Amino acid sequence: MRNREPLDEFGRVLMEHLRDKAIGFYDILAQGQWKAPALQELQSELGQLDEQQRTIIRRCVMLSVDNALHDFLFRIQEDTDCSDEGRIQIVVNSVNIATLSDGLHGELFGESGWMSKYSAYGEEPEFR
């Protein structure tokens, strides 16, 4: 098996700095804790919703982020599979990470997937 270190490093960065940041942003927004004037009206509107409604919105945020990640990774893998190296490459430690996986989009899921291993929020139950 090839060295998965560059692949896992990319997954960790993606989970911590994209997925977790997006979900965390919503959580702070729903709690009304952002000070930015541009967010005050939206925070107020979210504050008028009950807990169940905010939970549904949070799930929508998580699933939207996860779906976007999945589709992005699928496209990168597809591009690599259709050409020698791919027109779009993600290189970590001098390695095109798409060449280390038989499906980047699948790296997100499962007990040893990036969401479970590296995200503070774990894997959404809909994907299990």
List pLDDT tens digits, range 96-111. Answer: 999 999 999 999 999 9
**Maximum CA pair distance of the chain?**
53
Q: 54 - beta bridge partners?
A: none
Are 123 and 116 spatial neighbours (Cβ–Cβ below 8 Å)?
Answer: yes
Where exactly are the structural domains of the chain?
5-117
Evaluate if residue 44 carries a pLDDT over 90.
yes
Instruction: Reply yes or no on whether the pLDDT at 51 is more than 50.
Output: yes
pTM assigned to the model? 0.90
Look up tokens 């589709």; give the residue: 71
- Rounded distance between C-alpha atoms, residue 104 and residue 72, angstroms: 9
Q: What is the pLDDT of residue 2?
A: 65
**What is the rounded CA–CA span in Å between residue 54 and residue 73?**
29
